[in-house]
Amino acid sequence: MYFEDLDLNDNVLDALYDMRFDKCTPVQEKCIPEILKGKDVLGVAQTGTGKTAAYLLPVLSKLADGGYPESAINCVIMSPTRELAQQIDQGMQGFAYYLNGVSCVAVYGGNDGNRYDQELKSLALGADVVIATPGRFISHISLGNVDLSKVSFFILDEADRMLDMGFSEDIMTIAKKLPATCQTIMFSATMPKKIEELAKTLLKNPIEIKLAVSKPAEKIQQTAYVCYETQKMGIIKDIFKAGNLKRVIIFSGSKQKVKQIAGSLNRMHINCGEMHSDLDQEQRNDVMFKFKSGQLDVLVATDIVSRGIDIDDIAMVINYDVPHDAEDYVHRIGRTARADRDGKAITFVNEDDIYFFQQIETFLEKDVEKAQLPEELGEGPVYQSNGKPKKAGNNAKNRRRKDRDHQSHKDKKQANNKQRNRCPSTQTSSNSDENNTKTQEQKKGYKQNNNSKKIQENNSASNEVRSANNKKKNPSKTQQQEQKQKDNNVKRNDRKPANNKNNAENSANQQNKKTNNKRKKRNNRQQKPDEKFVRRSTKYDIREELPSNSKNNSALKELIKKPLKWLRGLGKK
C-alpha cells in the first residue's frame, strides 16, 4: 500500500515525498488507519519495521487538520532512552517540515542549564508534542511545570524496554493525570505478561496488531565463533584484517567490558568510540554524531543502542557476549540489514554461553553457522548439542570458592564439636559433678575404712605378740588370766582412737600458733618507724624515734643512712 492511499494530510504527504517514502510497511499499513479513527492501538512488531512513523504520521495529520486547543500539550510520547527520544524528535521534524503551527520539544535528562530553561519555556507555552523520558518528565510534573489536562494522545514507544528498566510506576503516575478522553497508543517489540497487564490498565478496547514473531531479517548473515574468553580479541583482529572495518557496532552486556574493548581497539589504532550510561549527555551526543557522520568506524556500546536507533548503513554487528534473552539478540543484530540492505551478525560464544546460544537457535528455528577459529589462536571449546546451562559456580574461580567454603564449613563443624566436648550441657555437667562428689566421698570413706582396718590389724598383731611373750614368761597362767588380758587389750584398743583425736587437735592448735606468729612478724615488718626531718642550714638530718625494745634498730638505722650518704655525695659532686 502507498501512503497516498491513506487519509493523511497533504502537507505530511509532501514531506514523505521529499524524503522518498512511497510504500507503507505492514505495521504502518495496519496501524495508521486505526489511529486516524481515534481508537486505542496495541502494536507488536519487530525492530526496523517503521513503528515510529506508524504513530507519528497519523498524529501529525490530525494535529494539522486542527480542532485541538492552542498553547496546550496535545501529545505526549514516552521513550525509554535519551537516544531514542532524540531520534523520534528528528523524525518529527522531518515529517512536520511543511506543517505550520505544530511545535515539538524533547525532554530528557543529562543536559545543562540552558537546555533545562528551553524545556521550561516550551512546556509553559504549550508545545503540541512532548517527547520525554519518564524520569525527567516526572521531575517536571512534580515541580508543577506541566499541565496534562488537555492531552489528546498518549504514546508509549518500546513499552517492554521501559518496563524492563523499571519505569512502570512512573508511567502509571503520568497516566493517572491524563484526561479520560485521551487516546492511548502502545508499541512494543515483544508481548510479555507485563505488557498485557499494562495494556489492560491503560488501553480502552484496544485493537491489537501483531505481526510475525520478532525475528531478525532474512538478509542478515549470522555466524558464530565458539571460543574462549581470551580468544575474542584475536578474532576481532582477524576480522578487521580482512577489511571489514567500516560501520561496525560491537555490543557487550556490561559497561566495564565496553571500556576494556574500546581501550584495546584504540591500542590497535582502530578509530572507535564507546557508548554507555557513564557518559554524560554531551559526550553521548558527540559519539553518536561522529558515528552517524562516518568519523568513527567502530562503535562499542551496551544495549542502550540496541533499541530504536536507526542507522541505515551498519555493515556488521558483533556480539562480544551472548545475550541471555533471545529477543535482545534480535534487537542487537537488527541494527544491520536495514532499509533493504545486507548485513552480517557475528557472535562470540564461550563455554558459559553455549546453552543460551542454543536457546537463541531454538527461538530462530535454525542453526547458526559456526565459523572456524584462526589457526594462530588454537582450538576452542566443544559446542555440545543439547547442553544444559552451567550453574553459577562451574567455572574455575567459583569451583575454588566452593572448595574454600566447603573446607571452612568442615573447620567450623570441628570447632563446634571441640567446644561441645570441652563445655558439655548443664545436665551432664551437674550429673558429672554429682558423680565426682560421690566418688570423692566414696574414696574418703574407703580410705578411712582402710586406715581403721590397718590400725586394728596392727593392734591385734601387737596384742598377739604380747600374749605370746606373756605365755613364754608365765606358762602356768590360767584361762581366766588370759581372758582378763584380752579384755584389757580390747579396752586399750578402744582408747586409742580417742588418743588419736587428741593428737590431731593438738597438731591443729600448733599449726594455728605457727601461723599467728608468722602474721605477727609480717605486721612488725610492715610497721615503719616515725621519722622527723629537721632543717639545719643546707643539710638535712633525721632524728629517729624507735621503740626501745626492738631488735631491728640497727638494721633500720643503716637503711636510713644509706640514701642520705648518697644524696650528700651528689651535693659534693
Q: Are 323 and 224 in contact (CB under 8 A)?
A: no
β-bridge mates for residue 175, sequence order: none
Identify the bridge partners of residue 543 per DSSP, sorted by sequence position.
532
**Structure-block grid coordinates of residue 99:** 506543517
Smallest CA-to-CA distance from 347 within 323, 318, 387, 326 is with 318
Q: 425-484: per-residue pLDDT in tens? A: 444 444 444 455 554 555 445 445 555 555 555 555 555 555 555 554 444 445 566 666
pLDDT in tens, 24-38: 988 999 999 999 999
End-to-end CA, the chain: 124
Grid cell of 4 as nine digits: 497516498
Distances (CA, A) of 329 to 222, 346, 381, 526: 11, 11, 22, 95
Give Cβ neighbours of residue 235 (< 8 Å, ≥ 6 apart).
225, 227, 348, 373, 374, 377
Listing DSSP states for 415-447 in one string gives: HHHHHHHHS--HHHHHHHHHHHHHHHHHHHHHH
| Cα–Cα nearest to 255, from 326, 165, 320, 166 | 320
Residues 53-102: tens digit of each pLDDT:
999 999 999 999 988 998 899 999 999 988 889 989 999 999 999 998 88
Average pLDDT over residues 3-17: 92
**How far, in Å, CA of 219 to CA of 347, rounded?**
16
| Highest mean pLDDT (candidates 13-17, 123-127, 386-390, 474-478) | 13-17
- Which DSSP state fits 2? B
d(CA 522, CA 515): 11
Q: In what order do the strands lie in the sheet with 343-349?
A: 272-275, 298-301, 248-251, 316-319, 343-349, 220-226, 369-371
pLDDT digit string, tens, across residues 236-267? 999 888 776 778 999 998 899 999 999 999 99
For 110-134, what is each residue's pLDDT tens digit?
777 788 888 999 898 888 999 999 9
Domains of the chain: 3-210 (3.40.50.300), 220-396 (3.40.50.300), 530-572 (no CATH)
Identity at 510, one-letter amino acid code: Q
Helices (H) and strands (E) in the chain, counts: 18, 16
The pLDDT, as a whole number, for residue 505 is: 59
Q: Each residue of 532-564: pLDDT tens digit?
A: 444 444 444 444 444 444 445 666 666 666 666
pLDDT tens by residue, 154-179: 999 988 888 888 899 999 999 999 99
Query: Of 87-91, 221-225, 515-519, which range is least confident?
Result: 515-519
Q: Which residue has the higher pLDDT, 507 or 3?
A: 3
